Structure formats: C-alpha cells, structure tokens
Structure 1
Amino acid sequence: MALVINTNVSSLTAQSNLNKTQSMLSKATEALSSGLKINSAADDAAGYAISQRFTTQIGGLNQANSNASDAISLAQTAESALSQITSNLQAVRDLAVQSANGTYTSSDRSAINTTVQQYLSEVTRIANQTSFNGQNVLNGSTSDITFQVGANVGQTITVDLGSGVRADQLGGNVAEASTNSLASAFTNATGGTSTVDMSKISIDGVALSGTASSAQDVVDAINSTDFTATAANSGTLPSGATISASLNASGGIDIFQSGGGTVDVKDTGSLDTNSLAAGATSGTGGTITAGTTLSVLGDGSATAEVSGAASGSLSGGNVLTVSSANELIARIDQALSTVSTFSSNLGAIQNRFQSTISTLTAQSDNLTSAQSTIQDANFASETADLSKANVLQQAGISVLATANSQPQQILKLLQ
C-alpha cells in the first residue's frame, strides 16, 4: 500500500463506518426512549402509512364504543320510566276492577274515579317529561334516533321511539260492541226460562259452544272461548288480538276486542227481541245487518250483526259506571300490552348494543395488537442494537485515531 499524504483512505473509511454507527446508535436510542420503532415516515414509509390508518380506525372504534354506551343509557332511561307507567296502569286497572263491582254506589265510583284520573295524569306526565340529553323519548315526538356504532360512514343502528305512551296514546286499539238488555232472549212465551243454543252465536267467525239460560252464561262462554287458537279460529281475529265480555248496566253484554281490527258479533234470528244483537250499538256506530244463515233462537231466516271498530284511548276513560269500568279494563289491558312490548324492545335494544360494544372492543383490541406489531419497538432487539452500536462507536473512534496517525509516519522517511 502506497504511503500518501493528501488522501487518507483509511481515515475516510473509518469516518464512513463511524457515521453509520452513529446513525445506528441514534436510531436505537430514539426507539428505546420513545418505545416506537417507527418515529417518522423515514423510518418505514409503508409501515408508517399502515400504522396511521390503524390509528384512525382504532380512534373511531373507541368512539363508537362510547356511542353504543350512550344508546344503552338512553334505553335504560326510557325503560325505567316505562316501569313507572306500568305501575300506574296496573293501579288504574285494579281500581277499574273494584268499580266494576255491583255493590258500589255512584258516589263510591266517583271517588274511585278521582284516583283513576290522577294515575292517568301521572302516566301522561311521565311520558311528556322523560328525556335523554334534551330529547323526549316516550311521548312520540322523537321518531328515530340513529347511533353511530362503527368507525366508518353508514355503520349505524337506528332505535325507533315513535310510539308515544301518554294516556291519549294508549288503549285506543280496542273495539267494542254492546247489546241492549237480553232478558227477553231467555224468557219463553209463558214467562219461564228459555235456553239458547250458543253454537249459533259467532264472534269474528268463531262460534261459541254450549247452551245459555242467562246473559251471564253468554259472557262466561265468550270469556272461556279461545279465539286465538289456530285450529278453531277460521274467522277474522287479528294476530295478537284478544276478546272479552262483561254484563252492562242495561242487562246486555259488552264485548271488547283488544289488539286491532273490528269485532263482529253475529246472531241469527228474526231480528226481534230474542236476537242477541237486536238493538245492539257500538262506540263507533255499529250497524245491524241481515243476510246470513246462522241461527240462535229464530228460524234461521235472518242474522243480527253488530260491528265495533277500534277507537278511543285511556284519555277520557272513567269508572263512573260498570260498563265504563269494564271498558277501561279492556283499554288498560291493551295499554299494558303496548307498554310491555315497548319495554321488551328496549331490553332487546340494550342487549344488541351490549353485543355491539363487545364486538367493537374486540375489533379495537385486534387492530391495536396489529398496530403494535408494526410500530412498537422490540426492546430486546433495540438494546442489542444499542450495545452493538456502542461497541462499534468506540472501536470506530479508536480506528479513526489510528488512521489519522498513519501520515505522520511519512515524516520518518524524511529524517
């Protein structure tokens, strides 16, 4: 190797290697001090881009998790209020059953009705004043609320809150048909008791069974008939609807259908006083028509039919008479069914959002783990690199010093 002065190749090589060592040492120090092996895009351009996308998704998932928790809180708020509404409706029903008892006077029922109206007012107050973050959730003024439950656009769950539970919004899905006194239907020409074949009486296309010697017997037959049985119901009873009956103050029968539709009561006869539906009325102007061949007492030449359509609500309901108390009972039963369904839906919504939270948590955890693999420093590896860089730095400095001293040996040649 030639001895030269102007160019110290050994020194340049040592400097180059020392610079590399310094860069390695600096990188290892930065990784160990920050805990990240990617501190800038220059460290790993592709890894940096992927890591940033993961950061975006993780942030969105965590916020969506919080959103789902808000949804659960809203549902719990509404469900708690519905529980109180149910308690008030149950109290009203108990009072209506009490008022339907024939031993009470009109003044007694008036006193009972005062309490009933207070409970109904409380139902309306709860519905109007239950809110979550300023939004009413039980009076029907808020229809749908959409919750963002994902990191991306369109990942939502919508909760339907359009069903109001004020007193004037409950109990309206009840149809009623009422008859006049049926006393003559069970009295023969000599004043004795006459028996009615109830298989000739049909309600919504389903015939009763047995015989009756009083209006109460007909009421009992109606209340014991399963109008919802698939095998028996070849008529028009809507799905989920129920039928019940009670005696009214005139000695006739009130028939209630809760759950929608129109209650149709048919009784064949010659449309005289011995016809079940003769003179019958309904809350919405039921009609009496003739034309089918069912028979109760008469010769089968005509049919008395009364139809009552669903109408009204709990608002304005009272227990001032036996009939109105029985009507209120039917409407309360419908209202309780509505509130129960609403509560059940809210419970299912809570379970759904809880499942959503579990899914979001798992997704966030998995993305965080993947991000960690890309950007987090491996301390075992980085400390090894740091030790290596330290040794190489010290060696490089020593070698550079040696290389820098080599030109001085040329002076010996000049002595």
Structure 2
Amino acid sequence: MIINNNLSAMNAHRQLGVNQGMAAKAQEKLSSGLRINRAGDDAAGLAISEKMRAQVRGLDQASRNAQDGISLIQTAEGALNETHSILQRMRELATQSANDTNDGSNDREAIQKEMDELANELTRINKDTTFNGQSIFNGGGTDGNGTGSFSLHIGADGSSEKLNITIGQFDAATLLVSGGEDAEAGADVSARYTGATFTATDGDDASFTITTNAQGEVTNVRNAAGEAVDLDSFSGEFTSSTGDTLTFAAPTAEDNTQIPPVEAAAGSLTSAVTTEASEARAGIDVTTREAATTAIDTINDAINTVSQNRAQLGAWQNRLEHTISNLENTSENLTAAESRIRDVDMAKEIMEFTKQNILAQASQSMLAQANQAPQQVLQLLG
C-alpha cells in the first residue's frame, strides 16, 4: 500500500472537478436558454448566429420603415379624400351657377364666395398636410448647385450646329439658362430646356415661346442677363419689337390684377411675368353661365387628377403591405435558423445537468472513501 500519493483520491478529485464543471455549464445554459454563451462554446456557430442576428434586425427595421411609409400614405390619402369631397362640392356649385334660373349676378356672386373659400381650403390642405413635420404635397428640400459647361465650335463655312441637352423632370426655384457669352454679330444665341425655349437674336425683334405643364415646378427662370421670368402652369407666345411694351392680364375674371408690363429690349426681356392665384380667384370663376360651364370641365379634370393620385397611393400601399409580409416571413425563417444554432434544447440540457450532478455527487463520495484508505495502514502497525 502507498500512502505518500493517494492515487485513488487524486483520480476521484479530478473527476469531481470535471463533473462539477460540466454541471455548471449545463446550469448556465439552462438559466440563459442559450447553447452558445461564449465563443468557446461554439466559435463557428457563434459567428454564423451573429450574422443571422444582424440580418434579422435589419429586416425588422425595414419592416418598421415600410410601416412608416404606409402611415405617410394613409395621411396623404386622408387629405386627398377630403380634397375629393371639396372638389365634388365645387362641381356641384359650378353646376348650380350654370343654371340660367339664377337671379342675375347676385346669386352667382354668392356661389362664387363659397367657391373661393373652398379653393382656399384646397390650398391650405396642400400646404399644411404634413407627416413627421414634413410637407407631403408642396415639396421641399435642400437647395443644391449644379454646374456644367459645353463648348461648340462652328465650322468656317458658317453652317449651323446644334447642341441638345435633355433635363429630366425636376423641381427648382431658380433655373439659369443662357447662351454663349461671346457671339458674333448676326449669330443667334439660344438656350433650351425641356418645357420651354428662350432665344436671343442679334436683331431688332426679340421673341420667345413658353410652354409649361404640371410636370415639375419651375417658379423662377432667368435669362442670360440674369433677369427673372416666373412661370406657373403658363402657356403662351408673345413677340415684341425693341422698346415696345407687352401687357398681360389673367382672363378669368374682371377684377383680376393686371400683370406687370413686359418690356422687350434687344434680344431680352427685362421684367417678370407673374400672377397670383388669389388675384385670379384660384382659377375658378362661376360668375357667368359660360364661366361656370368652363369651371365644370376644369373641376372634372381636377377630380380625375386626384383620383389618379389616390389610385397611385393605393398601389403604393398595397405594394408596401406585400413588402412587409415578405420581410416578416424572411425574418421569421432566419430567426428559426438562428435559434437552431444558438438556443439550447431544454429537455436535453436538463438531462445533461442531472447526469453531471449525479456524477459529481458520486465523485465526491468516492473521494471520501479514497481518503479513508490510507488509514488502514494503521491496522497493520497495531
């Protein structure tokens, strides 16, 4: 018998430590619900799990973003729904005004007052409809500067060459369009952009044509001299000789404010052409039967435009709802995959904990018996 080194006790002690360590790990997994609590548990599994977690969180945030988009669309839809109601009432008033049974201008003036207030309400809805502090209908944003230059050399034979530049739809407060700074006598200098054409000619006559529509919004266009021309859904053509004055007035009502004069200089315009919607009765005049008939057509066009916009909003909302459904489905599948890698099987781990706990108790009992073995040597001495 050996007493200096109790190998049985040492072995029992080592096994006790192993069993207690395994029981502690099982207890940690049971308390956290995770199979992988640190990289040492499963390094590769941890890396895969973290990548999946990042994807899941990104998908969940994308779903919330889409929900915000639906909220914005619903806000716009509510405003357009009220706009539809107002336009229907305006059409009703225009139809009423078109009736010749109205007593002179008094009845139509009363109708016009309500028409003006409804038009003002449409303007207010357009300006004040916001979502999270951002205007929905009247645009906005941060001003930006864009520059570019082009050089075009004309041949010695004097033949004309043209450079066309196409600009996509845009919103701009000020657009500077200019021709070349150096032009020989007798040459035509022109600058164009989609929707309008400005031409400066080295002669006594100057003319240009403006054609804009509701696509985009160009509120201030400047010619090569830096002078402003304000446009607001205006379509027209005018020509003047040097020194002549052109005067314009909006044709919608007798009390419209006259547009400021436009003086034609050599190849340029020196003042702006502007008109205010409030001065033109918002473009809807029902003070005469003829005007009321025209107003009905105008309002019909507006109703159709709002209907198209609402249809587009509905299409966007349906698309976002499908997007959210797809995101949630993908997130669910990734979460399930990540769970299989990282989460613990509780039943299996309870079984493992019970096993290690019993082994630890058995090791402790064997250690106690191994410690008593050297005492048997005393009996030999006795």
TM-score by length of 1: 0.56
Give, in whole Å, the separation in 2 of the partners of 1:43 and 1:29. 14
Give, in whole Å, the separation in 2 of the partners of 1:139 and 1:402. 89
Is 1:76 the equivalent of 2:74?
yes
Give, in whole Å, the separation in 2 of the partners of 1:314 and 1:127. 17
Whether contact under 8 Å (1:319, 1:325) holds in the other structure is yes
1:252-298 per-residue CA deviation (whole Å, 9 max, x = no partner) reads xxxxxxxxx99xxxxxxxxxxxxxxxxxxxx8xxxxxxxxxxxxxxx
Aligned residue runs from structure 1 range 373-392, under 5 A: 373-392=340-359
What amino acid does structure 2 have at the position aligned with 1:31? K
Structure 2 unpaired stretches of 5+ = 143-168, 172-234, 237-250, 252-276
Whether contact under 8 Å (1:136, 1:142) holds in the other structure is no
What amino acid does structure 2 have at the position aligned with 1:56? A
Shift in alpha-carbon separation, 1:20–1:314, aligned structure 2, 3 A:
farther
- Which residue is equivalent to 2:59? 61
- Which residue is equivalent to 1:135? 134
Aligned residue runs from structure 1 range 148-163, under 5 A: none
Give, in whole Å, the separation in 2 of the partners of 1:54 and 1:63. 14
Q: How far has the Cα of 1:384 moved from its partner?
A: 0.8
- Which residue is equivalent to 1:332? 299
What amino acid does structure 1 have at the position aligned with 2:49? S
Shift in alpha-carbon separation, 1:120–1:388, aligned structure 2, 3 A:
same
Is 1:403 the equivalent of 2:370?
yes
- Which residue is equivalent to 2:35? 37
What amino acid does structure 2 have at the position aligned with 1:117? D
Whether contact under 8 Å (2:62, 2:327) holds in the other structure is yes
Whether contact under 8 Å (2:126, 2:138) holds in the other structure is yes
Is 1:364 the equivalent of 2:331?
yes
Is 1:318 the equivalent of 2:316?
no
Shift in alpha-carbon separation, 1:80–1:384, aligned structure 2, 3 A:
same
Give, in whole Å, the separation in 2 of the partners of 1:51 and 1:410. 58
Select which of 8, 12, 26 maps to 1:28: 26
- Which residue is equivalent to 1:102? 100
Q: How far has the Cα of 1:314 moved from its partner?
A: 8.0
Q: How far has the Cα of 1:404 moved from its partner?
A: 2.4
**Secondary structure of 1:139's aligned partner:** coil
What amino acid does structure 2 have at the position aligned with 1:94? E
Indicate the percent of aligned positions where both proteins have the same amino acid.
47
Give, in whole Å, the separation in 2 of the partners of 1:20 and 1:352. 58
Whether contact under 8 Å (2:116, 2:281) holds in the other structure is no
Aligned residue runs from structure 1 range 15-414, under 5 A: 15-104=13-102, 105-141=104-140, 315-414=282-381
Shift in alpha-carbon separation, 1:77–1:314, aligned structure 2, 3 A:
farther
Shift in alpha-carbon separation, 1:314–1:79, aligned structure 2, 3 A:
farther
Q: How far has the Cα of 1:9 moved from its partner?
A: 2.3
Whether contact under 8 Å (2:90, 2:115) holds in the other structure is yes
What amino acid does structure 2 have at the position aligned with 1:74? L
Give, in whole Å, the separation in 1 of the partners of 2:140 and 2:42. 54
Give, in whole Å, the separation in 1 of the partners of 2:308 and 2:141. 18
How many positions carry a matched residue from both structures? 255
**Secondary structure of 1:315's aligned partner:** helix
What amino acid does structure 2 have at the position aligned with 1:25? A
**Secondary structure of 1:377's aligned partner:** coil
**Secondary structure of 1:360's aligned partner:** helix
TM-score by length of 2: 0.61
Give, in whole Å, the separation in 2 of the partners of 1:53 and 1:9. 48
**Secondary structure of 1:41's aligned partner:** coil
Q: How far has the Cα of 1:131 moved from its partner?
A: 0.6
What amino acid does structure 1 have at the position aligned with 2:350? T
Give, in whole Å, the separation in 2 of the partners of 1:314 and 1:346. 29
Give, in whole Å, the separation in 2 of the partners of 1:125 and 1:398. 87
Give, in whole Å, the separation in 2 of the partners of 1:51 and 1:45. 10
What amino acid does structure 1 have at the position aligned with 2:3? I
Q: How far has the Cα of 1:16 moved from its partner?
A: 1.9
Give, in whole Å, the separation in 2 of the partners of 1:73 and 1:79. 10
Whether contact under 8 Å (1:314, 1:328) holds in the other structure is no
Whether contact under 8 Å (1:22, 1:389) holds in the other structure is yes
**Secondary structure of 2:349's aligned partner:** helix
Shift in alpha-carbon separation, 1:33–1:398, aligned structure 2, 3 A:
same
Q: How far has the Cα of 1:137 moved from its partner?
A: 0.6
Give, in whole Å, the separation in 1 of the partners of 2:43 and 2:351. 24
Give, in whole Å, the separation in 1 of the partners of 2:20 and 2:84. 76
Q: How far has the Cα of 1:338 moved from its partner?
A: 1.1
1:30-55 per-residue CA deviation (whole Å, 9 max, x = no partner) reads 11112112112221112222222222
Q: How far has the Cα of 1:140 moved from its partner?
A: 3.4
Structure 1 unpaired stretches of 5+ = 144-159, 163-260, 263-282, 284-311
Q: How far has the Cα of 1:8 moved from its partner?
A: 2.4
CA RMSD in angstroms comes to: 3.0
1:118-173 per-residue CA deviation (whole Å, 9 max, x = no partner) reads 11111111111111111111223369xxxxxxxxxxxxxxxx9x8xxxxxxxxxxx
- Which residue is equivalent to 1:13? 11
